[in-house]
């Protein structure tokens, strides 16, 4: 198990947390957690704990929205054919499903389009524009890509096809010549919330459409589930408007789940939460684009009949099973390759095999980071070229490292923590050396050690049922509203700590701390710590507070994130 550094996030302002504690009449610990998350006033706390539809921002504050809505309404009223063009990942497929099903319901002649990951690659393709021409499309609404598709938009313009771009990626200095561009990250866009995912922007489009028509918001509640799934999968901040959309989307999923999703998860969860979206639903939707084609996911999401949805969900489940098997095999082969050719001193991990499946190399790169915490690139062969998927460690900009090696690259793109690249086979060795050199020059030693952050140092007596109840109301958790992590020092075994699980690889803790309070906890894959805990040495833990429901019993429990026997672990 890789050793991790512990870091405490910035302590809350004591005056602000005391004032908020008095206003809300909550435990001190809760007020501190809220202030750490930027919630300092009673009104902010009300919006945080009770998100409502009225908290959503006016969509017409987004630059280009009026022009986009006018164009869409014109196209529908004049019976023009509209293509919805989106990426093949979760954000893209949910976006296409949302706009396609909504505009079709408004009487639009609508065609959904997802590019083939292997034949067309990421983003707007010439193949896609030509397909629009063949189908006599008058308007393409491009979502989750397109902000840098300057040449492709010019091709569409040359065919007399208008385009609207809905994208959340950072724009370049030159923008495509589209009818309208909806992207809050444009420098001159006054929309106050900048962190929407693509499906969130798609939702703002249908919100604006209904607002323009003077219709009730009730008409678009049914699409909130797709937005929640996209927000969870795209790892955007769960703050502001994203938090409202996710909260309401989960509410929709748990009250009136769409047919396709019902069969995809096979009703196996009593109540869906954000983790189910991230770890159960999103990988299955993604599997369609990784293993075959993203349109399988769109077709499932827009299904309206049980039999149709059952068939499509079974197909996607097969894709996901295949994806898991391939992912596990390639991860194993990559780890073996690292053992053979790896260097202890290396600051990077770069592996390559020509037969690895392109659709899973990004997942494999992320998995390798769990074993070797280094900037990582996994390569495979694609036609006459080698393509790679890169992932980075916290705080290190892998895109900049690739930029410094650009003379070896045919193509690359991405952001700080993830990128894709393409090289000629004969330049692979030179690139690998250059990449190791570029990373070694910039990376700091502490960036090569993973870190765990925690909110507060507490004693176990503070973890009461009231504390849990209020923490539970802080959901949905995610980036910038993460589930609270507590540090508890001076813990001792209370006599009952033992190994559990089929392979005895998990740890069931029974501990007591200096407050004299006893607590149980579960530490997955932490059985190696048992002997040291039993030696009666005191230790520290990082943990979430959870409720364990088992055999009609319910008890508070600690979900252990890390254990340290250092006297000063932070």
Q: How confident is the model at residue 269 (pLDDT cuts 50, 70, 90)?
A: low
- Based on the fold, state whether residues 444 and 492 are members of the same structural domain: no
pLDDT (tens digit, 9 = 90+) per residue, 14-43?
999 999 999 999 999 999 999 999 999 999
- CA distances in angstroms from 83 to 134, 170, 254, 287, listed in the order given: 12, 24, 31, 23
- Domain containing 113 — which CATH number? 3.90.1640.30
pLDDT of 297 over the 80 cut? yes
For 33-91, the DSSP string reads HHHHTT--SHHHHHHHHS--GGGSPPGGGSTTHHHHHHHHHHHHHTT-EEEEEE-SSHH
Q: Is residue 487 part of a domain?
A: yes
pLDDT (tens digit, 9 = 90+) per residue, 475-514?
999 988 999 999 999 999 999 999 999 999 999 999 999 9
Phi/psi at 252 (5° precision):
-65, -45
Which regions of 476-526 does DSSP assign to beta strands (E)? 486-493, 498-500, 506-512, 518-523
pLDDT of 529 over the 90 cut? yes
Q: Which residue from 212, 226, 216 is spatially nearest to 59, judged by alpha carbons?
A: 212
pLDDT of 567 over the 90 cut? no
User: Do residues 431 and 367 make contact, with C-beta atoms less than 8 angstroms apart?
Assistant: no
Output the pLDDT for position 530.
Answer: 94
Output the pLDDT for position 276.
Answer: 92
- Based on the fold, state whether residues 302 and 440 are members of the same structural domain: no
Whole-angstrom distance, CA of residue 540 vs CA of residue 509: 12
User: Do residues 37 and 475 make contact, with C-beta atoms less than 8 angstroms apart?
Assistant: no
Whole-angstrom distance, CA of residue 570 vs CA of residue 568: 6
Percentage of residues of the chain with pLDDT beyond 70: 98
pLDDT of 204 over the 70 cut? yes
- Based on the fold, state whether residues 174 and 278 are members of the same structural domain: yes
Last residue of a domain, one of 448, 473, 508: 448
pLDDT of 343 over the 80 cut? no
- Based on the fold, state whether residues 438 and 458 are members of the same structural domain: no
Output the pLDDT for position 266.
Answer: 76
Q: How confident is the model at residue 551 (pLDDT cuts 50, 70, 90)?
A: confident
User: Do residues 326 and 256 make contact, with C-beta atoms less than 8 angstroms apart?
Assistant: no
If you average pLDDT over residues 220-236, what whole number do you get? Answer: 95
pLDDT of 234 over the 80 cut? yes
Beta strand 109-113 pairing with 81-86:
parallel
Burial 550-564 (b: 16+ CB within 10 A, else e): eeeeeeebbbbbbbb
The SS3 assignment for 118 reads: coil
- Based on the fold, state whether residues 254 and 155 are members of the same structural domain: yes
Q: Is residue 326 part of a domain?
A: no
Output the pLDDT for position 569.
Answer: 67
Output the pLDDT for position 275.
Answer: 92
- Based on the fold, state whether residues 303 and 409 are members of the same structural domain: no
- Based on the fold, state whether residues 421 and 459 are members of the same structural domain: no
pLDDT of 57 over the 80 cut? yes
Output the pLDDT for position 271.
Answer: 86
Q: Which residue from 331, 420, 415 is spatially nearest to 367, judged by alpha carbons?
A: 331
Last residue of a domain, one of 448, 477, 497: 448
pLDDT of 439 over the 70 cut? yes
pLDDT of 200 over the 80 cut? yes
Total domains in the chain come to 3
- Domain containing 513 — which CATH number? 2.40.50.460
**Environment class of residue 22 by beta-carbon count within 10 Å: exposed (0-12), middle (13-18) or buried (19+)?**
exposed
Output the pLDDT for position 414.
Answer: 75
- Based on the fold, state whether residues 242 and 377 are members of the same structural domain: no
Percentage of residues of the chain with pLDDT beyond 90: 86
Higher pLDDT, 536 or 355: 355
Whole-angstrom distance, CA of residue 319 vs CA of residue 227: 23
- CA distances in angstroms from 482 to 299, 390, 412, 461, 476, listed in the order given: 33, 25, 32, 22, 9
Number of other residues whose CB lies within 10 A of the CB of residue 166: 30
Whole-angstrom distance, CA of residue 64 vs CA of residue 166: 10
Q: Is residue 99 part of a domain?
A: yes
pLDDT of 550 over the 70 cut? yes
Q: Which H or E run includes 150?
A: helix 150-158
pLDDT of 44 over the 90 cut? yes
Whole-angstrom distance, CA of residue 216 vs CA of residue 214: 7
The whole-chain average pLDDT of the chain stands at 94
Q: What angle do CA 403, 89, 227 make, to 5 degrees?
A: 115
Chain-centre distance of CA 477, in angstroms? 12
- Domain containing 388 — which CATH number? 3.10.310.30
Q: Is residue 76 part of a domain?
A: yes
Whole-angstrom distance, CA of residue 483 vs CA of residue 476: 9
Q: Which structural domain, as residue segments, surrounds residue 379?
A: 342-448
User: Do residues 453 and 485 make contact, with C-beta atoms less than 8 angstroms apart?
Assistant: yes
- Residue 250 makes CB contacts below 8 A (sequence gap 6+) with 228, 272, 273, 274, 277, 476
Q: How confident is the model at residue 548 (pLDDT cuts 50, 70, 90)?
A: confident
Q: Is residue 137 part of a domain?
A: yes
Whole-angstrom distance, CA of residue 388 vs CA of residue 332: 18
Q: How confident is the model at residue 218 (pLDDT cuts 50, 70, 90)?
A: confident
Q: Which residue from 538, 557, 561, 556 is spatially nearest to 491, judged by alpha carbons?
A: 538
If you average pLDDT over residues 346-363, what whole number do you get? Answer: 95
Whole-angstrom distance, CA of residue 362 vs CA of residue 140: 29
Token digits for 179? 């009818």
User: Do residues 71 and 164 make contact, with C-beta atoms less than 8 angstroms apart?
Assistant: yes
Angle, helices 306-341 vs 361-371, to 10°: value is 50
pLDDT (tens digit, 9 = 90+) per residue, 368-415?
998 999 999 999 999 999 999 999 999 999 999 999 999 999 988 777
- CA distances in angstroms from 324 to 319, 351, 554, 569, listed in the order given: 9, 20, 33, 36
Global pTM exceeds 0.85 = yes
For 362-417, the DSSP string reads HHHHHHHHHHS-S-EEEEEEETTEEEEEEE--TT--HHHHHHTTGGGEEEEEE-SS
If you average pLDDT over residues 456-462, what whole number do you get? Answer: 96
Last residue of a domain, one of 448, 474, 490: 448
Q: Is residue 355 part of a domain?
A: yes
Q: Is residue 330 part of a domain?
A: no
Q: By mean pLDDT, which of 8-12, 86-90, 156-160, 196-200 is the weakest?
A: 8-12
The SS3 assignment for 491 reads: strand
- Based on the fold, state whether residues 380 and 287 are members of the same structural domain: no
Token digits for 525? 């894959």
Output the pLDDT for position 155.
Answer: 98
- Based on the fold, state whether residues 443 and 460 are members of the same structural domain: no
- Based on the fold, state whether residues 444 and 456 are members of the same structural domain: no
What count of Cα atoms within 13 Å lies in the side-chain half-sphere of residue 430? 10
Q: Is residue 320 part of a domain?
A: no
- Based on the fold, state whether residues 274 and 138 are members of the same structural domain: yes
If you average pLDDT over residues 298-320, what whole number do you get? Answer: 95
């Amino acid at each position: 198990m890789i050793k991790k550094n512990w870091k405490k996030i910035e302590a809350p302002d004591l005056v602000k947390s005391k004032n908020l504690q008095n206003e809300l009449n909550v435990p001190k610990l809760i007020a501190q957690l809220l202030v750490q998350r930027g919630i300092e006033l009673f009104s902010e706390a009300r919006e945080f704990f009770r998100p409502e539809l009225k908290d959503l921002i006016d969509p017409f504050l987004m630059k280009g929205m009026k022009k986009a809505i006018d164009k869409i309404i014109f196209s529908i009223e004049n019976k023009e054919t509209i293509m919805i063009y989106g990426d093949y990942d979760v954000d893209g497929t949910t976006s296409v499903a949302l706009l396609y099903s909504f505009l079709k319901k408004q009487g639009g002649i609508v065609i959904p389009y997802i590019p083939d990951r292997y034949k067309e690659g990421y983003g707007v393709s010439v193949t896609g524009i030509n397909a629009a021409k063949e189908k006599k499309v008058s308007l393409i609404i491009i979502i989750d890509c397109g902000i840098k598709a300057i040449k492709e938009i010019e091709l569409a313009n040359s065919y007399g096809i208008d385009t609207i771009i809905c994208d959340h990626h950072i724009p370049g200095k030159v923008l495509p010549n589209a009818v309208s561009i909806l992207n809050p990250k444009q420098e001159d866009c006054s929309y106050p919330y900048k962190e929407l995912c693509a499906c969130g922007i798609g939702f703002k489009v249908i919100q604006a459409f209904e607002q323009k028509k003077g219709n009730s918001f009730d008409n678009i509640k049914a699409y909130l589930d797709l937005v929640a799934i996209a927000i969870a999968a795209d790892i955007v901040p769960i703050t502001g408007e994203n938090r409202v959309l996710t909260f309401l989307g989960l509410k929709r999923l748990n009250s009136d789940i769409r047919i396709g999703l019902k069969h995809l998860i096979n009703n196996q969860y009593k109540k869906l939460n954000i983790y189910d979206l991230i770890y159960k639903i999103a990988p299955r939707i993604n599997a369609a684009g990784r293993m075959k084609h993203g349109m399988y996911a769109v077709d499932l999401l827009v299904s309206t009949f049980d039999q149709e949805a059952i068939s499509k969900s079974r197909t996607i489940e097969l894709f996901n099973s295949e994806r898991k098997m391939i992912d596990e095999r390639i991860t194993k082969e990559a780890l073996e390759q690292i053992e053979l050719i790896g260097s202890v001193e290396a600051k990077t991990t770069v592996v390559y095999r020509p037969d690895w499946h392109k659709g899973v190399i990004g997942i494999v790169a992320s998995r390798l980071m769990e074993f070797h915490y280094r900037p990582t690139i996994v390569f495979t062969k694609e036609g006459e070229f080698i393509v790679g998927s890169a992932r980075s460690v916290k705080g290190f900009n892998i895109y900049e490292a690739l930029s410094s090696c650009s003379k070896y690259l045919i193509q690359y793109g991405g952001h700080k923590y993830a990128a894709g690249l393409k090289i000629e086979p004969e330049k692979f060795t030179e690139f690998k050396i250059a990449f190791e050199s570029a990373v070694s020059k910039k990376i700091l030693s502490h960036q090569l050690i993973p870190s765990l952050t925690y909110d507060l140092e507490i004693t176990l007596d503070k973890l009461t049922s009231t504390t849990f109840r209020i923490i539970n109301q802080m959901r949905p958790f995610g980036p910038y509203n993460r589930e609270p992590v507590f540090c508890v020092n001076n813990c001792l075994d209370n006599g009952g700590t033992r190994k559990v699980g089929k392979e005895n690889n998990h740890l069931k803790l029974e501990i007591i701390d200096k407050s004299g309070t006893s607590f149980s906890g579960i530490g997955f894959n932490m059985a190696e710590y048992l002997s040291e805990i039993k030696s009666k040495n005191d230790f520290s833990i990082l943990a979430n507070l959870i409720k364990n429901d088992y055999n009609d019993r319910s008890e508070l429990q600690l979900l252990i994130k890390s254990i340290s026997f250092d006297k000063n672990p932070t």
